[in-house]
Structure 1
Amino acid sequence: MTFTFTVLIYMGLLSYVLAAIFLAGALPKPILRVLPDSVVSENMTVTFLCEGTTGAKEYSLYKDRHKYLRHTENPQTPKDKAEFSISKIDHKHPSHVVTEGGNVTLNCISRQQYSRFILVKEGPQKLSWTQDSQYNYSTREFQALFSVGPVTSGQRWTFRCYSFKKNKPQLWSEPSDPLELLVSGTLHKLTIKAEPGSVVTCRSAVTIWCEGTMNAEICVLHKEESQKTWGTQTPEMPENKAKFSIPSVTQEHGGQYHCYCYSSAGWSERSDTLEIVVTGIYYKKPHLTALPSPVISPGGNITLKCISWVGYDKLILTKEDQKFLSSMNSQYIHSIRQYQAYFFIASMTQDHIGTFQCYGYYNDTPQLWSVPSDHLKIYISGLSKKPSLLTHQGHILDPGKSLTLQCCSDINYDRFLLYKVGEDNLTEHGNQQTKTGFSLSNFTLDSVSSSTGGQYRCYGAYNLSSEWSASSDPLDILIAGQLPFSPSLSMKPNSTVHSGDNVTLLCQSTNKVDTFILSKEGAAQQPQQLKSKFQVWDFQAEFSMSAVTTALSGTYRCYGSWDSSLYLLTQASDPVELTVSGEVTLHSHGDLSPNPRTTLDLENQDHTLENLIRMGMAVMILIVIGILIFEGWWSQRQGKHVAGM
């Protein structure tokens, strides 16, 4: 036969409070009210007002069907009410942790019927107490309450209880399991810690160390809200450490722990609270992102956003060294049908950089967390010279191709970091040295797809520094063929012009386009972009070029994009070839050579000379004809004059 043994220490009020009046006959039901409110903070004073029956001589307050307080004074007239005042209300469960000099109630319980119970204090000074058994109708058990105290920290308080029947007082039952009161004494305060940490993945191992009192005989680990000692160990010499190992953590290990040690001088002061959190209990992981970017300037502000599809009550942010730990209520966002919480970090310093994760948990189990989000690493960018970010495959790519982005600098950086704006994953590479003294790193993105499109930046850093350089200029990567239509491209006045002329390239589409992109084949610079304007029948944009030079000759294409996906383009327009005629300069030694800055146009010169020759020949022909006509007329006139004589 077995029975249980519990400790009751000044129980706090729970949610159900019953009031009853026991008088002869049937009485009207009283009214019970609580001041200041039914929801209060710990250590506040609470007053229960029981109003009702005229002439009542005694009021009793019940908690969970057990009499809690009795009030026997005459009720106040004319309201006929009684007041029950409870100071420093708390919400404790039965526990065997007690304070120096306090009184304790020990409850011996059995499911079998016995007449009496005996409580025995073990140790050199054996003491015993005897109580009649009482039947508890609510629990259907037999029990006896023993008041013990005042307890002191100068000795150990270990108890067992027994039971017997009246007709056989010398025949006792088997003893209960031992119960040791942990008396918080005034000796040296203990240190408690967990290795590898207090946030533990489910099914992994953790060790709790309790360190403190010299020459301690025993150290006890206590978990709050538990009626049993969690573990007992003899400290290891000479460090005076007690080791409590948990080889496979489960959800029952989540909670708050303290430890105590006992020596010949008595019990130590209890340690600080160690909270063990078990992660991986819930399998839906949240997502963590950084706003505006995971790379931030010193002294800048950053917001970390934790998002979850599951309605956890709280979302909590942690850093790998656990120096930063913050919990926020989750809020449901109807537009995205997700729960989220924002964590704001102001004035970023070196202490803030590192790897962050977030978890979700419910209010009723705050030490049981979900699986973590993916890691999010936060960087600080400094004031050292920015590197350059280049692409050798062009800024507009077709899906399936390979892309290599090159980050380079004339500063000898040891490593480079590539960052895609709007994402949290950053890629870090070591450097390569060139013969010209440049340091660079190539970041290859295989098999280009729609997800490759975006804006990229890169940073440089030295191995001994945790601070990154200033950001490179942004580089846009655009993916063609993602919208199932193509615009058209035309040139005004025509595709062959002279240097110094003005040219307009007109991009048009009958399908909706928010932005038009003009690209020159083989150009190193990024494509031009213009917002579209809706005309009578289509969307269009005009790209104007003033005083063109031969350098602008080449093949042009245009694309369109939508604002909802700026980096995903339509199919390309048909290509258009722009030809700009060359220019020459007349040098001092008399020779002619091509020069884009010349003011003498050979083609115009040839046309002018040809025209002058033609005009000269026409004039000469006219003169000859005129002479011939004049000579003929003159000859005819002379013939007439001779005949007349």
Structure 2
Amino acid sequence: MRSFSFSIFFLEWWLTRQRWTARGYYKAKPSILVIPSATVALGGNFTILFHNEQWSDFSDEVHIYIREQFYPKPNVSVSPSQVVAVGGNLTIHCKNEYYQESEFYLIKEGDLDVLQKKRPRRNLAVFPITNAKASDGGIYWCYYGFLASPDQRYSCFSDKVYINITDPALNKPSIRVRQKGPHALGAKVQILCEGPEKGLNFYFHKSMELIASQMAKSESYMTTFTINMVRLEDAGSYTCQYHLRGNPFVWSEPSDPVELAVRADSPVGNIIRLAVAGLVLLVLVLIVAEAVYLATNGIIFPGWWLTRQRWTARGYYKPKPSISVIPSATVALGGNFTILCKSEGHQRTEFQLYKEGPPASLQLLHTELTERDEVLFPIVNAQQAHGGIYRCIFQSVHNEQWSDYSDEVHIYIREQFYPKPNVSVSPSQVVAVGENLTILCKNEYYQESEFYLIKEGNLDVLQKKRPSWNLAVFPITNAKASDGGIYWCYYGFISISDHRYSYFSERVYINITDPALNKPSIKVRQKGPHALGAKVKMLCQGPEKGLNFYLYKSMELIPSQTAKLEKNITTFTINMVRLEDAGSYTCQYHLRGNPFVWSEPSQPVELVVRDPSLSKPSIKVKPRGEGSLGMNITIECQGPEKDLKYFLLKSKKRIAPQMTNPDRNTAEFLLSLKRQEDATDYTCQYHRIGNPFVWSEPSDPVELTGSGKKLASCVSSPFLPKSRSLQMGMNLWDYRCTG
């Protein structure tokens, strides 16, 4: 019978929960994910990936491990290859060149824990992946530590290896050359790659070597790889592959190959050589024209300038695109960087990225068609071969005339071997416009090294120092808005020929406050003091719409939030107030498009919380009985201990504060009855002197009654100095009188 009753109860509970779920009252717990990994380098970054007013259950827990990196990184390799078919086997090798009897850990990006752990007798750990599945594709790295070491320090993370899984169940793509060959030197050739789905990401290979990647349009099965001017070295065998949308590590098998044949000698080739000779002649003519311009006060040269302007207006001439590197042109071996190319105002453009090859030649690396006026070319797992000089060009889809080449950008690949330097900023990482600061970079282990200061987004080293000792000082004087940004440093040794450098230091973030920007304002929407568990909203308002606001408690950053594009105000919500939320809050904003130029902080606002664990004060009126016009009365408030600060509340509104004497636990408030509306409820509260943001609950109310018209005003208290006594008509923050 008990079992039957329990079953009915459980079934009813299950049905109720289903109804709640259907109506949105109950939400299943969310999943939780850590990017890139739950094992994080000390000073590194990680991201934890459901917002609704109705809160769900808590997710499963995730444990974050912070590793102080001290020992050199291990070497990592994959055997037999980083590309393996479904069902195949591979092995990841992690080797420590310097120490034995260490424990190795294998990490996979996105996993919530260490994937495998090994403690080999020697300095090589072997991590097998057998019967490979699609889910085994991804980014892996390893590190090591010493169980016997009490300092809990580990090695730096190894370089990353990229495991790609080819799935024979996926349909192969097809590939063809649009124009019939053999092709003349200098001809434009288009190679088309087609897959089984729309919007796939295709990779283009020559003799099994990746040379370009490109995404098909969302409505197309096909993409086009273009060689604008065929050279002899472009002849060869080409294939293409695609990967699944949403999983860049599961690939199709390569297409069947297609041959690109090039004619070594052709009339077009002769025309090209004649064109080159003509260009040389044109350069000589321009030099002579400049000389004539100088001799004739500039009559000829303006004519050339006007002709160029006409060409530009008709689309025959395009200005060169801009080029930049994210995060920096100085890249760690195995690191990632992105080259950004941008045209000015040209929509629906095709960009091409080139790298300088052998003398006087450019190698086409990537082609990208975009609806926007800019494109990103990402390069992952950078190797020494990725170092060098890059340029880009573009053309509009409506006009086949190509732009000039962009300015060049030089990529430096740094093999990191020595321990990273310490970096600090003096006097602060926040500085006002026009002030000075210094970035200090210190190498704890070596002297006579050369230090380099990097700023994110710069195309070259910002400053270079070779101090006598192991400390480099990089000054930034008369700070401007453009000095805000992310900085780091590293060092190397000019006298050593192995071209190895230190690891990059931690990043420092330089923020510039501009007094010319209007301060934001801040307020608490609900009146306080607030009960524990209450929902509180703080509103921060700035001078423009869509600003990014930052909320601080006692000058410590808590969250950040962007206002909606059509609003100049944002709301920071504390869903369940705790005692530790009590305090002083301010907010700031930064300019759109420049996260390192900030306003000054707002004026502070106080969040006051009621603590139910504090004993309520008691309250009484002297003399007892009914009051009369002009009568003076005393309201006495008594707390549980001495040296408290009390507040008198009239109809739940604060009207006067009062400090007790150190040897007393009571405060007295003197009132003169003068108006009928002063015959109302009075309560009092207190807080401890050292914690002004946590108050007691209000006392029980006491009611003043009387006959006739009455009036009340605050009068001076015998327990306050004369300079702080409350006088008729005074309207100060702490001593506002409402009677």
Structure of higher CA gyration radius: 1
User: Where is the strand percentage greater, Structure 1 or Structure 2?
Assistant: 1
Indicate the TM-score class for this superposition, using the shorter chain for normalisation. 0.3 to 0.5
> Given the two structures, how large is their TM-score scaled by the length of structure 2?
0.37
TM-score using structure 1 length: 0.41
